[in-house]
Each structure stands twice: as structure tokens, then as C-alpha cells.
Amino acid sequence: MAIRDGRLVAAYCENLAPSGAIVAYKFDEETGTIGKVLDKTESWFSEYGDSKGVCFNADGTKVFVTFESDKALTLLDRIEMALDSVKGLSISKKMVALSNKVYKKCAKNKLIEKSAFSNNGSPSSENFECAEERVIKKPAKNGIAVFSISADGKISENPQEVILRRKYCSLENIDMVEHRCVITDLVNSSFSIYDLTRDIQLRQPVQTVTLDDVAVHGAKFAPDGNLLIVSSLGKKVANQRVEWSTWTSPRQDKIFVFERASPPPLS
């Protein structure tokens, strides 16, 4: 979450399907009370994946949101998720209610090949079996989305800019102070520092720090920008995938404190 000028913006994520939302709440900074919902944006994330970290830019007119969408979902995965949405019905009624809707939506969004459908848009029995194993084509990237936000907490429906990461990663959290930005990468066990005066599109970090045997998760600058607090999950990363079976016992979650150095931004 991020707080600025009476607005608290929170990111929601981790549904079964790639999805997410950012929600702005009224926030009383004197009492710490969270008030009414000011606005919500979620439709865009249904195409791109989970919203993760969120922060305001320097003047508070934009929110930067990291999103994660490198989830390889088969058609069967998507159907099972759709069925979960109508719990309480019998299996036969679930299939009747959802089959055409699910299949047509997948075809419309090019999530499976058209050959899996007959001419009238219904599933073709002879082609459906092979289509089950095909991986859904979208979403397929990780990156940062930049949304505008007004003084009264109204968030733009779509981002002004989307900065995609072409290489495999899992961007988790983001924070900004002055002209510096930090982004954590869970899968690659690292965090990167960017200089916004020279690289507003966050293309080339001025420094990347990799931490061994942990998965880097949260990052937050101190208000004066001289310290950076980084939290990590005590698990190892192997073969570019987070292996949940590698939790150590006892767990070794850690918090790291980095101090700003000169001339490098952090060390």
C-alpha cells in the first residue's frame, strides 16, 4: 500500500486466475483511520495479471504499480477456475451454465486456437482434447503500470504507460523517494535501484543487488532517502522458479538495512 495526501492506495492480488486491482481509500493521517473507498481500478489487470506493489510518484499525481503475469495456465485450469465461481450447483448444471460462456470467451481473447471450435462457436469434440494442453497466450509479461490519480483519489481506468519486462522475473514491490526508485524481483532474488532523472521509464538500473538463498520481497526507503529496508522470504530460488518445497526449517526470513553511499546510490 501507499499513502499520500489523505489517500491510501492498496493493491489486491493472488486470485486463482491472473487478476488484481488497486483501490484508493480516504485516509486520516492524524488518526490513522481508513475511510471510504474513493475509487477502484481492476478491469485492466484482468488482462495483464496480479497487481503487486504500489507507490506514488514525487508530486502524488501518479501511482506506479508492479504487476506479475507469467502464469502458464492451460485451458483446463481456466475451466476449473470458472467452475469454482458457481459453487453449489451440480456438476451437470455447472457445465451447462458455463460451457459456452467459457469457450467463447477463450476464443474471443485468443486464449486457445480457433481450430478447437466448430463453425457456430461451440466446442468441437474432435479438437477440444488437444486444445486442453495448449497454454493460454495472455497474459505473459511482468512489468510496471503507471496510472494517474487525482487529488480526490480518482484513478484512471487504464494506465498512462506500461513498462514491460521481457526477461523472466517476478516484480513484487516498488517504492520511490526524491529521484530514486527501487523495485524488488522475487524470482531473481534481487532488487534494483533506478535514477528517475535519467531513466523515467525504468529501463536500466544504476545498481542491482542480489541476495543469496532468500527471495527478495518488500522494499521501502526511509523518508530522507538515506536508508533502504528490504524484507525477504526465507526460501531458495531454483531454475528460475520459486520452489515452495525448499522452505528451510526453521524459516530464515530476513530484513536487510542498506545505507546510502556516495557516489553509488546504495551499497
The predicted pLDDT at position 253 comes to: 81
Q: CATH assignment of 42-70+142-259? A: 2.130.10.10
Burial class (CB in 10 A: 0-12, 13-18, 19+), 46: middle
The predicted pLDDT at position 147 comes to: 96
The predicted pLDDT at position 237 comes to: 44
Dist. CA 188–CA 197, nearest whole Å? 26
10-residue mean pLDDT series, the chain (267 residues):
95 71 94 95 82 93 86 54 58 60 52 42 39 40 90 94 79 92 90 94 92 88 93 61 53 86 61
Q: What are the pLDDT digits (tens) for 139-189?
A: 456 889 999 999 999 999 999 998 888 776 788 999 999 899 999 998 888
The predicted pLDDT at position 9 comes to: 97
Delimit the CATH 2.130.10.10 region(s) of the chain: 42-70+142-259
The predicted pLDDT at position 266 comes to: 57
Q: For the whole model, what pTM was predicted?
A: 0.68
Dist. CA 123–CA 101, nearest whole Å? 11
Dist. CA 102–CA 95, nearest whole Å? 10
Average pLDDT, the chain: 75
